[in-house]
Structure 1
Amino acid sequence: MSSSSTVAGPPRAPAPHLPPMWLLVAATAVGPFGLHILIPSMPGLVTGFATDYGTVQLTLTLYLIGMGVAQLGLGPLSDRFGRRPVMIAGFAIYIGASTLCALSWSIEALIAGRILQAVGVCAGQVLSRAIVRDVLDRDRGASTIAFITMAMAIAPALAPLIGAYIDLWLGWRSIFVGLVLIALTTGAAIVLLLNETNLQKLPRLDFRGAFGHYRQLLRDRAFLGYSLSTSVTMSTYFGFLAGTPLILVEQMGQPVQAYGIWYLLITLTYMFGNWLATRFTVRIGGDRMMAWGVWFSLLAVLAMIAAERLGPAHPIVLFGPMCFFVMGNGLSQPNGISAAVGARPQIAGAASGLMGFTQMLVCATVTLLVGHIIQSSPLPMLLVMLATATLAVLFFLMARYRSSLSASDPPTPLQTKSMQT
């Protein structure tokens, strides 16, 4: 009697699948929604806490900085422990911080709560990008990130209007009660539905090693170029966001409510740019789409300067060209994000965290700069925007001509599975 036997190897780990798209959208949207919803209430906080506007503005600026700094740690933590548990912990922190904001007894307590909010909620943005890159290749990842960004853009578009009416009817503290309810709902969905996509976790948590990863990324011309290009492009938008409320009310004589309406318009055009990216990135290629986006945005800023100098003192001279800027932004941002995070796929969490830190730090710096130099004319704000839009083009060119990322992009688990079948 003869028999043959084979020795079975260890079972192969299943390839990760992309979590529900709406869940990634929701996890990403909570942060921008919480950032923008308080802006209409800021003048009232000056009176409510008997302080000055510069101090109240820290609820916005330090929120950005808090998001940036936290992302440096979230990336390595998710590379070690996985995307799912870190995201759950982040939302738990956000819920506690929002409760602190609702109960805040001083402007300092409110600022502290806002910083903690940012630390917790940025997990949704950082890890959603890393989750996409865990599963998809660069171009498909860019298309998916573009869709997430397009859908998520609804949140900051509606947040100022929603915040203004909540403040009017119920008071500003009710804004944070609403944020607690939103975070509880989203957090419960994450616990129930988010699968783990990081199947190659690092063996130990080593922050020295994490900073070693950051050093690797800072030496990578592709990562630097794409990350800095997306950062200064985003800062152009935030510079506009910081200056236009004052310009509309004090220089153009517009009511406060007008800001929310015009802001909704530019958000819709940004979503259109994201839709174009989802539609054509895989067919055209990420670098070409990003090139079109950064050049289009630069031309839009130049058009804005010309319109402001030659046109009437009306919001259309700013918001009209800004619509074209954000449409270009919608083309470039998802492709730049996907390329930067995918520059070193084995440390995608660290790459996502470092890129997010860079974005928030640059945006906070430009926001403070615009707030200090804007006076009786929009021109100082526009010149800052021109400088950052020009830098976006230059950093993109650095990434494009110094990188062989597209040629050397390794297969992801999803690609490997498809090749084996």
Structure 2
Amino acid sequence: MTFENQPSQPNAETRSPPRLATLTLLCALSVLPLNVFLPSLANISRDYRVDYALVSLSLAGYAVVSATLELVMGPLSDRFGRRPVVMVSLVVFIVGSIGCALATNIWVFLMFRLLQATITSCYPVSMAIIRDTAGRQQTASRIGYAAMIWAVAPMLGPAVGGIIDETLGWRAIFWALACAGVLMIAVCWFDLPETNTRQSRSIASQFRTYPALLKAPRFWAYASCMSFSAGTVYAFFAGAPLVAAIFDLPATSVGLFIGSVTGGYVFGSFLSGRYAGRYHLTTMIIVGRLIACLGPAIGLALLLTDVKQIAALFGPCILIGIGNGLTMPSANAGALSVRSELAGSAAGLAGAMTVSGGALLSSLTGALLTEANATYMLFCIMFASAALALLAAVLAAFVEKRGPAHELS
């Protein structure tokens, strides 16, 4: 796989672009801290002698800070460069991890846990780095390969965290995260040169260019597609446990069905990595959305024909994961390519929209589902979200044909 480098500034240092493996590891580390310590929540609550609900703020607060940082750090990487933002984020993350490991009370723990959230900004910045060093089609391919590994991290994270907790205690999880941050800094120090060669002269001048991004129908089409695609999965995560409880399904089986969707995403991301460079972005996205729509559509069809086997209902949902794996890399590449000089800002805004869309669909699912309507309502919500993502994909294809050439550079 080759890179298509952007034109560099006259005095820019000539260095080879970062390896995809480096960016993939950076993406994996950016998502791992979210759930690696989930098996330890009860132990943390017991050690600090506080309510479980208070400890769970380490999740909610982390998510809020993460979404906010994606909006801020992406633009900062457009202004000051990708490398400084990544390095600062890693340093703060290490401090936060060490603080969590040494915290003597829950409030200190929560404060340092929020500092840990700075690592999440490395994901959109990594996407911007890929866009800096590759053409539009190759960007989608590279994001596909990165997403394939990225998706494995949250799958294995809780299991690894549980093993560490059982053998060394929950504090060892945060020591391990700190060590991972140190190793990542070492890797980035040698293999993460600056790739943003078109930094704005000031924050003010950069903000003056934002309306061009925010008013671009192409950006909103791609970002909306990402948001509703993620919303379909979040709706499934929110509603599947209730449906499984109605069918008296054991917890291990629930985990298997939920994990199958993530496994489908890994497979779809692999297909993106292999084929996105050969086909137009919108072709990959629309194919992905059609596949994703099939999952809840098959589930609804089975319900209408009075099939009530949980495996028959949840099995087709793996198509949602495959469809999202085909969709997200190309949609991400499309959003970052609307204004390539604002790739960091676009990555941050699109990422925040994706997280917000997922949270909204998750909350909506929780509010609408009851034991009486859970099965039908869950599949209706998932199908509606997947269909809206397909509509956004069709809109993206339409504006791509009509849009000015300079937005496609």
Q: How does 1:140-155 map to 2 (within 5 A)?
A: 140-155=138-153
**Residue 326 of structure 1 is aligned with which of 315, 318, 321?**
321
CA 1:149/1:101 → structure 2, altered by over 3 Å: closer, same or farther?
Answer: same
3-state DSSP of counterpart to 2:194: coil
What are the residue-to-residue correspondences of 1:75-224 with 2, within 5 Å? 75-104=74-103, 109-118=108-117, 120-206=118-204, 209-224=205-220
Q: Secondary structure at 2:236's aligned position in 1? A: helix
Larger deviation: 30-39 or 229-238? 30-39
Deviates more, 1:166-175 or 1:191-200: 166-175
User: How far apart are the structure 2 equivalents of 1:255 and 1:108?
Assistant: 35
Is the 1:61–1:368 Cα contact (8 Å) retained in structure 2?
no
2:388 maps to 1:396? no
Unaligned runs of 5+ in 2: 1-8
The alpha-carbon deviation at position 345 of structure 1 amounts to 0.8
Give the 3-state SS of the residue equivalent to 1:153 in structure 2: helix
Q: Which amino acid aligns with 2:147?
A: T
Over aligned residues, Cα RMSD in angstroms? 2.9
Q: Which amino acid aligns with 1:222?
A: R
The aligned residue for residue 66 of structure 1 is 65
Partners of 1:142 and 1:286 within 8 A in 2: yes
Quick one: distance in 2 between partners of 1:93 and 1:168?
27
Matched residue of 1:203: which SS?
coil
Letter of the structure 1 residue corresponding to residue 400 of structure 2? S
Q: Distance in 2 between matches of 1:240 and 1:82?
A: 37
- Would the alpha carbon gap of residues 164 and 239 (structure 1) be closer, same or farther in structure 2, given more than 3 Å must change? farther
Q: 1:41-56 counterparts in 2 under 5 A?
A: 41-42=40-41, 50-51=50-51, 53=53
Q: Residues 256 and 128 (structure 1 numbering): CA distance in 2 closer, same or farther, change over 3 Å?
A: same
C-alpha offsets along residues 368-421 of structure 1, whole Å, 9 cap, x if unaligned? 333444442344443332332122112222222123488726797xxxxxxxxx
1:162-194 deviation digits (Å, cap 9, x = unpaired): 233334444433332222222221122112221
Which runs of structure 2 are paired with 1:281-360 in the superposition (5 Å)? 281-307=276-302, 310-312=306-308, 314=310, 316-317=311-312, 319-360=314-355
Distance 1:220 1:406, change over 3 A: closer
Question: Out of 226, 231, 238, which is 2:227 matched to?
Answer: 231
Q: Cα distance 1:371–1:102, how it changes in 2: closer, same or farther (>3 A)? A: farther
Counterpart AA for 1:339: G
* 8 Å contact kept, 2:137–2:280: yes
Question: What is the DSSP-based 3-state SS (H/G/I as helix, E as strand, rest coil) of the residue aligned with 1:237?
Answer: helix
Post-superposition offset of 1:45: 5.7
Contact 1:304-1:318 within 8 A present in 2 as well: yes
Runs of 4+ aligned structure 1 residues displaced above 6 Å come to none
Structure 1 residue 264, shift from structure 2 partner: 3.9
TM-score (norm 1): 0.84
2:3 corresponding residue in structure 1: none
Of all paired residues, the percent bearing the same amino acid is 30
Aligned mates of 1:110, 1:345 — CA distance in 2 = 39
Match of 2:22 in 1: 23
Q: Matched residues in 2 for 1:408 and 1:46: separation?
A: 56
**TM-score, normalised to structure 2's length?**
0.86
CA distance in 2, matches of 1:18, 1:411: 22
Q: In structure 2, how many angstroms separate the alpha carbons of the residues matched to 1:220 and 1:176? A: 42
Equivalent of 2:263, from 248, 253, 268? 268
Aligned to 2:359: 364
- Report the more deviating stretch, 109-118 or 80-89: 109-118
C-alpha distance in structure 1 between counterparts of 2:99 and 2:314, whole Å: 36
User: Structure 1 counterpart of 2:21, which letter?
Assistant: W
Deviations along 1:324-372, whole A, 9 cap, x unmatched?
Answer: 1110111110000000011011211111111112112222233333344
Contact 2:128 2:336 in 1 (8 A): yes
Q: How many residues of Structure 1 are paired with residues of Structure 2 in the alignment?
A: 397
Say if 2:30 and 2:120, in contact at 8 Å, map to a contact too. yes
Distance 1:258 1:285 in 2: 38
Q: Quote the residue 1:6 is aligned against.
A: none
Change (3 A) 1:196 1:149: same
Q: Which range moves more in the overlay, 370-379 or 289-298?
A: 370-379
- Structure 1 pair 175/108, CA: closer, same or farther in 2 (3 Å)? same
Deviation at 1:26? 0.5
- Mapped to 1, the partners of 2:287 and 2:246 lie a distance apart of 33
Is the Cα contact below 8 Å between 2:229 and 2:385 reproduced in 1? yes
Partners in 1 of 2:39 and 2:243 — Cα distance? Answer: 15
SS in 1 for 2:164: helix
d(CA) in 2 for partners of 1:28, 1:402: 30
Aligned partner of 1:159: which letter? G
